[in-house]
Amino acid sequence: MKGKFQLTLLIAVFFASGFSALVYQVAWQRILTLYYSVENISTTLIVSVYMLGLGIGAVAGGYLSEKIKNRIALYFIIELLIGLFGYISIPFLEFLGKHTAGSSYLISFLLMFTFLCIPTLLMGMTLPLLTKIFSRFLNSFFNTVSYLYYINTLGAAIGAVITSYLFISFWGLDTSIYIAAGMNILIALCILTCSGLNNTVSDTPLYVAPTPDTAAKKIFSRTRLIYIVVFITGFIAIGYEIIWFRVIGTLVKASAYSFSSVLFVYLLGIALGSLYMKRYLVRNAVLHKRSVFAGLQVIISLYVLISVTAYYYCVNNITLFWWLNNISFNSFLHPAITPPIFNSPSTFVKWLFPIIDIIAWPLVFIFVPALCMGAGFPLIASMAYRPGKEGNTVGTVYFFNVLGNVGGGLLTGLLFLQVLGSERTLLLFSLVGLLFIFLYRGRFFPKLAYRTVFFIITVVLGIVFFPARHQLYSTTHPKQFDVNGEKIINEGLDGVVVSYAGDKYLVTYINGISNGGRPGQPFYYKTFLAMSYKKEMKNILVIGFGTGSMVEALLQQDPKPNITLVELSSTLIDNLEQVKDVRPILHDSNVKLVYADGRKFLYNSKEKYDAVFVDPLRSSTSFSNNLYSKQFFTMVSDHLRDDGVFLVWSDETRVTPKTVCSVFPHVNNHGLFCIASKSPLIEDTDHKYRLLNSMPEYTHSLLKIDSALRTYKHREAFLSEHISHPINEDYKPRCEYYLGIMD
């Protein structure tokens, strides 16, 4: 009875271990971008380093599980060390960041590996180690791998969603990490109570009954083909995941909650797939495992081909998917928590869907493939199994799977999406996955000729009907501008940019988020207003180009100032280079364009500016807090001259202005933007009106805006009114994870 309780406790511990691991992953990856930028290359490197550490840890864990007798003690040490590292991780990362922030990609990679290698290596060791421990009690290698993979991945899935929706939203990144560290310490203490299990563990190899897989297994083992298969499936799986993140991100406005929501559905599918396969093979013990595994890969490919094609054609026509797509795209917040509306069924759906779409879209695109992926891992591990080498087998298979993940992540994120685009990359991965039909020996296609015909027909249909490059994103974006204007679509390393350029307007979306617009009278006005507080601006920093209105307004000053324009998205600039009204702004001799993360640029700059203008995307989008936190505003202050002017736009009117007020002693809050300085703000009215009249075609509307915004709140009045509201800090991204501040 005691032994059964200890086994149950160990299972609960492994669930909690998966939970805490995802808390770390979500929080650490978010914090690392503070120092090593949100550029696509940097974020890809962060994920790759994290996964590579897990893979190396799996190999090490597999090796040690075969060599060390007291495996419970080793598991105790691993969880204890993870918890202790969690407690010191923030000061450790702050030390690295303070001395190395803004480093080159190579140096950043080495530093990120320095930080992540210890905890990820330890985390990767746990699955092969637990497999070795449990296989002696379950008396089945396959059942052990399947069940443990299910338990740990289920914990990770729940950890992913709880971290974002609860821990970070209400307590911040730092507290989330401390919670995870506390969990690991508690886990370690629970493991101590299971030490008696060591006395019941035998190292006698498990008996493996002959099955139809025996010949296939010998072939795989002899030629090492099985590890090539694992690498390929891991490569394709992470490639799918990256593209799913991008497609779903355009629908849910790159919400800070989208990463954890997609990860939750993905991991939940993997967990349930692993559990189902365990139960399925118990009922069908004579099945050919190689054929089942190959069939799962074919199902994944077919589902991707069919689901994406069906989505494309349904949204292009007046269907339910078209309606739901528009509801998602036209909502700014995801999830959008608002009071319920019960006027009619349609209004109720319009209220409900923006709340649940952040889970609904991943369920549509990801859940079924994830089920098959989860079912495939214990199958492929069991085919690689060597009697008496349970931990080593799992560790090696996991390593090659992760190695495929790393390769697929790097090539997909840094090459395929830019060269082929999302659509053609999905098609390529699907067609490669279809090749597994030739390893299938099931009842549906018993003969090679049947499988060949099936493959050829599917390839032809896929090439003919699957959406071509840019068509998928053309479908997700609104159609109201299609008739009178030109649609320009570019997909690059940093995302998808869609611009609608007409004779009298320009509308641009970056990853589904509206970005500026022309004519941009509100942008002209706030720029002119900021310029009125300092008559001579010779050296100006602008972070975020938008559609160029702010830079265009700055160039109205006589003489023209020198403008350093820092823009993260080269894809945006590629789009706008094709717009005749914007091209002259980009090529003005007084504008110096720098492609960089705004925060990283300031880390590497020693320049002092007369003015800094920051006009990033919405404060509720992923990574926006890097440009809205108190620490970032402090960096801006350090790069301003004593009488310099700072302007920041914000769609959020409480937390962001209060954060500006926490850094600058002089602030004028105009609602959707703030103007701040280290010196008193004294408006030169004559200079302002000269600027407002410098663009005659817009003077009337600019004067109307001036009349409407003439009343503003000074810093002291604003602070007294909003004294109870928090501020954004690097570790407390209140606006980005906005659920914690919703009234």
What CATH architecture does domain 1-204 belong to?
Answer: Up-down Bundle (1.20)
pLDDT at 431: 95
3-state secondary structure of 185: helix
Pick the CATH number of 520-741 from 3.40.50.920, 3.40.190.10, 3.30.70.100, 3.40.50.150: 3.40.50.150
Q: Are 342 and 348 within 8 A, CB to CB? A: yes
Bridge partners of residue 591, in order along the sequence: 563
The whole-chain average pLDDT of the chain stands at 87
Instruction: Give the residue-averaged pLDDT of 540-558.
Output: 92
CA torsion sign, 418 to 419 to 420 to 426?
negative
Question: Would you say the CATH fold of 520-741 matches that of 1-204?
Answer: no
Confidence check: pLDDT of 86 > 80: yes
660 pLDDT tier (thresholds 50, 70, 90):
very high
Confidence check: pLDDT of 170 > 60: yes
Pick the CATH number of 227-477 from 1.20.1250, 1.10.8, 2.30.29, 1.10.357: 1.20.1250
pTM score over 0.85: yes
Instruction: Name which residue leads in pLDDT, 595 or 385.
Output: 595
Distance CA 88, CA 184 (A): 13
Q: What is the pLDDT of residues 279-324, one digit of tens each?
A: 776 666 556 778 889 999 999 999 999 999 999 999 988 788 889 9
Domain locations in the chain? 1-204, 227-477, 520-741
Closest CA to 394 of 46, 54, 6: 54
Confidence check: pLDDT of 202 > 60: no
Q: Are 242 and 416 within 8 A, CB to CB? A: no
H-assigned helices in 139-168: 141-162
Q: What is the pLDDT of residues 130-169, one digit of tens each?
A: 888 887 776 677 788 888 899 999 999 999 999 999 999 9
Q: What is the pLDDT of residues 499-544, one digit of tens each?
A: 988 877 888 999 988 888 888 888 999 999 999 998 889 999 999 9
Instruction: Give the residue-averaged pLDDT of 714-743.
Output: 87
Bridge partners of residue 489, in order along the sequence: 498
| Residues contacting 72, CB < 8 A, separation 6+ | 133, 191, 194, 195, 197, 198
pLDDT at 3: 59
Distance CA 66, CA 647 (A): 61
Q: What is the pLDDT of residues 679-690, one digit of tens each?
A: 999 988 888 899
Instruction: Give the residue-averaged pLDDT of 44-59.
Output: 89
Provide the angle, in degrees to the nearest 10, between the axes of the packed helices 71-100 and 105-138: 170
Triad 248, 249, 254: Cα angle to 5°: 155
Q: Are 379 and 14 within 8 A, CB to CB? A: no
Instruction: Give the residue-averaged pLDDT of 598-606.
Output: 92
